[in-house]
Structure 1
């Protein structure tokens, strides 16, 4: 096969979390160029695997997806943190990503994959196609995406996908049904030969969906592209107990034993769940948001970041439930905006998703034509940590603390952040912050 003549699929994955973002959260809007008139129900996908088991009701599909996504998240973190492409020469590059957004994007791609390409995608996402029916996997993502999009007071999340299609192509109806009804997908028809116009449409779409957080996702598009996929995640959240800006001051942050910088550091005294994990050489503090999400701030001992990253797992998070105890804490944490960009190809290769990026790709379930492959996969992220929820609550929020010496929890060296949605126990965000001063 002459792969030079193939028409590639480019998958662009984007995640933005607006922690304490101040923009209003408008309803979803936009004019699709293509309307497939699909019904508002889950399309019953069936790939006709020969021995797909009946999973019964011991676990719901979304519980299966949540557990598998958590395993995927920690595996991805280890690979991304050790991948030479993702680090600068000193190893100090920040790493921020949404495992939920990445896994849902590749699961969406699986709707159009066949044969070995399909098996590799599902296995790379940590599913076992011989043990778990593909239909249950997609149903699980469907349920989870809609639960995450439901939001609550003080916590808003929006997650979805978009397919940009060359206007001479006609995507298969079952793929369009799955895209719309499972993954909240939008569909736009484009002429990719008019690259400037396509780039404007893509960047405008992402700017709307991320509420202005990212205004430029792409600066070039190959004119031979026929399908382009985008997956996004936006979050707006308020700390349950906001920081008072008047206590923010410049403090030292030890990037490494030889590099000390000054960064704006927030302070508050309050009651927090915190504890020491001796086995993994780190200290953990849980910060609740309004609504149903928590941020876990993980502070490795000096020089132990790599050890902590390697040791993180579902078992570790479960162990913290018995380790974390509510007590009085003097909390110091950097105020920062951290940008991250990952080239996912090498990482997903390491996870076993290989054929999708080569001439062996079978993505014929998208358009019925086999000559497509995944040309690239990019993940962009922004993490914003600042003081404010609302001005009033920042000025008036107080904790009653016991008359005892508070624990000092000062984030003054590289740390990890884990954002967990409480209702589903989904890990929706991970960050490894080596230098808060780096944008």
Structure 2
């Protein structure tokens, strides 16, 4: 089975309530101060915060998309906004860090940026059988001169690049930006930017590209049309894949859900979470990093008849609205203080668009001949049928790359 993921986060137009987090957040402490109880490496602290952000962002998005598919990359969104903190000051900085789930008593700003640097190094490491590339680029109005410290930090911590751009010639600028994104996503995202505002001064893009094959691919000849129950009454006909053999699976009693882990070549894993009938809301309400971290020890290999639908999703979100509700408010108003970028505080983020794509099918051509025989215990196999809405989480070394919910496999948007 082959999975492709592509994501771009667009923060456009820097021109002239409910919290999932601790509302008593008091702002960042001294940069050189280190919490006495923080024994984790920076990347571990950042990984944990990305997970907390993933759960909170998912709950916010799913509350908006009550009957729709959900798919996003918490790692990419978190990284892009962490980049902004290099130039954010005062309340703007405080709000971003709070929503990204960083506790000022446990980690300093320098440790946060170092943690993201370590994570990006880990993600971008060359890995046989797995294509995964994450990066960041800053397009700046050619007459503006970003602060040298900001540019150095952008490069050193986030492997970021900065390019001068003439946004006044919006058509040409849009073409160059889209070409840049297309090249770095292997042509999968060709027209990210549309109707570029000629008044745009700074454009920040964070992208992630993932391409991997299952360790245990499905055989296409067993894929048949079958019913997928969108809700209790409505069903759609979907191409349903079938796999028979040893699969990692278990039952999470606290979430009333069956968990199936499928591994990719290269070390990444996908977790498919199927709630019992009528238990989706319970699953979403109780979803937490603690529960997700236990899935690896919860699942064990045994004989399974597994049914999983093929699907392609395009997740597109207005992050401005969502993150404003989550607590990042000043960034999108005249109160924004991004003086660490240009030396002047009167700039704000006017638009934030997140786009993610996932394609799931049986196998890539390279893996088609890789199926082999395996020894299966002489026992009655368990049947696990993903024929109703379920959750998906894609991880690499316990880092959450992607997260989503499939309500209707036929609905791409």
TM-score, scaled to structure 1: 0.85
1:229 to 201, 204, 208: 204
Please say which of residues 353-362 and 178-187 is displaced more in the overlay.
178-187
> Relative to structure 1, is the Cα distance of residues 163 and 152 closer, same or farther in structure 2, using a 3 angstrom cutoff?
same
CA contact (8 A) 2:257 2:274 kept: yes
Number of residue pairs matched? 391
Distance 2:99 2:52 in 1: 11
* Counterparts of 2:326 and 2:4, CA distance in 1: 33
Q: How much has 1:318 moved relative to structure 2?
A: 3.0
Structure 1 residue aligned with 2:137: 162
The equivalent position to 1:429 in structure 2, one of 376, 387, 402, is 402
Q: Is the 8 A contact 2:217 2:371 kept in 1?
A: no
Please, what is the CA RMSD of the aligned residues?
A: 2.0
Provide structure 2 residue ranges, at least 5 long, that are not aligned to the other structure.
Answer: 7-26
Question: For residue 20 of structure 1, what is the aligned residue in structure 2?
Answer: 3
Shift of 1:20: 3.1
Q: Does 1:82 align with 2:47?
A: no
Q: CA deviation at 1:399?
A: 2.3
Residue 71 of structure 1 pairs with residue 52 of structure 2 = yes
Any conservation in 2 of the 1:241–1:394 contact (CA below 8 Å)? no
- Inter-partner Cα distance in structure 2 for 1:383 and 1:432: 11
Are the structure 2 counterparts of residues 22 and 51 from structure 1 closer, same or farther at C-alpha, using a change threshold of 3 Å? closer
**Counterpart position of 1:27:** none
Corresponding position: 1:53 with 2:28: no
Q: Deviations over 1:25-57 (max 9, x none)?
A: xxxxxxxxxxxxxxxxxxxxxx99548522477
Instruction: From 307, 312, 316, give the equivalent of 1:341.
Output: 316
Does structure 2 conserve the Cα–Cα contact (< 8 Å) formed by 1:276 and 1:282? Answer: yes
Alignment partner of 1:283 is 2:258: yes
Q: Partners of 1:54 and 1:173 in 2: how far apart?
A: 26
Counterpart CA distance in 2 for 1:51 and 1:101 is 24
* Cα distance in 2 between the residues matched to 1:226 and 1:216: 20
Counterpart of 1:272?
247
CA shift for structure 1 position 327: 0.5
Aligned to 2:22: none
Higher mean C-alpha displacement, 140-149 vs 263-272? 263-272
CA contact (8 A) 2:113 2:157 kept: yes
User: In the aligned structure 2, how far is the partner of 1:391 from the partner of 1:309?
Assistant: 36
Regions of 4+ moved over 6 Å:
none
Q: Which residue of 2 aligns with 1:116?
A: 91
For residues 99-119 of structure 1, give each alpha carbon's deviation from its aligned partner in whole angstroms, at most 9, with x where no partner exists: 000000000011110111111
Structure 1 residues 215, 308: CA separation in 2 closer, same or farther (over 3 Å shift)? same
TM-score by length of 2: 0.90
**Match runs of 1:2-401 below 5 Å:** 20-21=3-4, 49-50=29-30, 53-55=33-35, 58-83=39-64, 87=65, 91-391=66-366, 393-394=368-369, 396-401=371-376
The 1:22/1:118 distance shift into structure 2, 3 A limit, reads: closer
SS in 2 for 1:150: coil
Shift of the 431–50 alpha-carbon distance from structure 1 to 2, 3 Å rule, reads closer
8 Å contact kept, 1:19–1:235:
no
